[in-house]
Structure 1
């Protein structure tokens, strides 16, 4: 909780959220009217007693604010934040996140930015959320200039907020050099406004990357047989993000050898599960288990690539051993394919294959739970 000793600020910070917050000059002059600053100003104490930071956080934040000689600027900033309706806890979190926000120029940057956002039609609550999310951006003069474009591009403030949460740098990205050329390129690739919005929200780092890099990544994704408009496209972009053509080719070759796939089969897998390219070496153990232990044919796996997205320790192995136990002990009414068994949700799997056998196999649930932790029991007990 904010503990303000300045009586003017106490009234400002405890006022109704419905009170007007503009113009900021009045908040600044009101805070200043409380009287001249005290001879000595202990920033660490100010952060604890006025901003509500813990001692540990105040100590860390004070290193960036050692140049402050009076509470004049911080008091004015706190008054503006309170006028936006931020609670004491919200303000403490904001200051801890960006201590330099207390040095913002209310007249030169913070106030004008807030006024322009209000002019765009954003409510007090929406502005407060934005300030809390990206406080550092409000210390710059460029935050508002990019926002109208993003609102138009993404269709709503909620979508813009989702994008900013994952990539706050877009508010300072160059529209002319990066964002607009990237949008134009994606439109040329056949993506509509809705598709582009979904892509940027799902893969937020794409929007502000260098156009030539984006074009190379799209070409690489398309080379894997994944068109721009497909549901797998954003996953493909993530999969090839840090890799060039040669690196991707090497990963494809590794997967082919590991699972004994043909060119066509590895193409099927990657087009449906681009994730397989991200960590191909993790596929070695999956291959050994699925082919050598479970006995699946490479082609079977290739046409059911979802198997590669499941946890080896958490799902693939435990379910295989549970089903093997049930079959060997005559408790399995019908023989289901391994792929079908793996697809069941955990709740359904328990209801169908574990819970019904509490009497016939009292240790089955315990052994299955143990297997799901990654520790495969030496045997499934039967009593």
Structure 2
């Protein structure tokens, strides 16, 4: 397979550099003789399909010749979708994203990570998602930055996920600038109902005396922490309390987050590792209270 990919990449590079039409037949033989790619879960595909007699177009050649993709990006995309039956759909999607402020690099990143976007229905699968961001006050360049950093955002439901999640983040962070910073680091928040996860968890942490600035800092750096259930957060707090942690300590939130990041079995293995290095049970708890974040390290790093 590696030899075939190398041969294809060389063929594609040569065709671009020499301004010659790509070698359609050689590419088809080298690459597209492989088994059919798995069907995507994307509900992107338009109902309007051409007849089976419509000639198929090789994705790699299409992206390079029609949209000036790099051979590497075209090859990556074509590993999931070998051919297109309807290039008109792909043209409309790619042209729209270009007009919406996506740079060549950003466009390639989106297509590499979700090649099925080439078969998307522009009016029902793409435009509503972009409009949600625009209606929320984001500029085209901001939208391009966020989506290219996590293209799977385009799989979210515009009304049921994107809109409510963006609004919740804006209410929590106070500005689009804050939302933009968070989403560039993690588009995870747009997958969840934040009214049922993040917001209740923030209220719990505030009730424990943890400062808003520390809570907001963790929103950027540890996004998955806030997506636990409220019951789970309370259980993590209980376990930290049982270790004798002072709730007024600046390390209190770090301790909760550390406990949330590992299973009970992993925690017990960390305890045994410290004990094997000469720590008493009391010494392990003292170390945890002073620097809970160290317990997140891999065992090899801890041992060293």
Q: Is the TM-score greater than 0.5?
A: yes
Partner of 1:143: 162
Where in structure 2 are there 5+ consecutive unaligned residues?
A: 1-15, 17-53
Residues 178 and 210 in structure 1, CA contact (< 8 A), matched pair in contact too: yes
Among 288, 296, 303, the residue aligned to 1:270:
288
Give, in whole Å, the separation in 1 of the partners of 2:105 and 2:55. 29
Partner of 1:111: 127
Over 3 Å counting, the alpha-carbon distance change for 1:55 and 1:125 in structure 2 is closer
Q: Secondary structure at the match of 1:85?
A: coil
Give the TM-score of the pair, scaled to structure 2.
0.68
Residues 251 and 277 in structure 1, CA contact (< 8 A), matched pair in contact too: yes
Where in structure 1 are there 5+ consecutive unaligned residues?
A: 4-37, 286-311, 313-383
Residues 225 and 257 in structure 2, CA contact (< 8 A), matched pair in contact too: no
Q: Secondary structure at the match of 1:259?
A: coil
Using CA pairs below 8 Å that are at least 6 residues apart, which structure has the higher relative contact order?
Answer: 2
Residues 61 and 99 in structure 1, CA contact (< 8 A), matched pair in contact too: yes
Q: CA deviation at 1:211?
A: 2.6
Q: CA deviation at 1:173?
A: 0.7
Over 3 Å counting, the alpha-carbon distance change for 1:130 and 1:180 in structure 2 is same
Residues 43 and 65 in structure 1, CA contact (< 8 A), matched pair in contact too: yes
Partner of 1:218: 237
Partner of 2:174: 155
Give, in whole Å, the separation in 2 of the partners of 1:224 and 1:184. 23
Q: CA deviation at 1:69?
A: 0.9
Q: CA deviation at 1:230?
A: 4.1
Q: CA deviation at 1:147?
A: 0.4
Q: Secondary structure at the match of 1:175?
A: coil
Over 3 Å counting, the alpha-carbon distance change for 1:215 and 1:134 in structure 2 is same
Partner of 1:184: 203
Partner of 1:200: 219
Provide Cα deviations, 1:71-110, integer angstroms capped at 9, x if missing partner: 1111111122112222222212221122123333321132
Partner of 1:46: 62
Residues 146 and 184 in structure 2, CA contact (< 8 A), matched pair in contact too: no
Residues 51 and 91 in structure 1, CA contact (< 8 A), matched pair in contact too: no
Give, in whole Å, the separation in 1 of the partners of 2:238 and 2:75. 49
Partner of 1:65: 81
Residues 110 and 139 in structure 1, CA contact (< 8 A), matched pair in contact too: no
Over 3 Å counting, the alpha-carbon distance change for 1:279 and 1:259 in structure 2 is farther
Q: Secondary structure at the match of 1:190?
A: coil
Give, in whole Å, the separation in 2 of the partners of 1:111 and 1:220. 46
1:242 aligns with 2:258: no
Q: CA deviation at 1:121?
A: 1.2
- 1:21-32 equivalence runs, <5 A: none
Give, in whole Å, the separation in 1 of the partners of 2:180 and 2:289. 31
Give, in whole Å, the separation in 2 of the partners of 1:68 and 1:103. 8
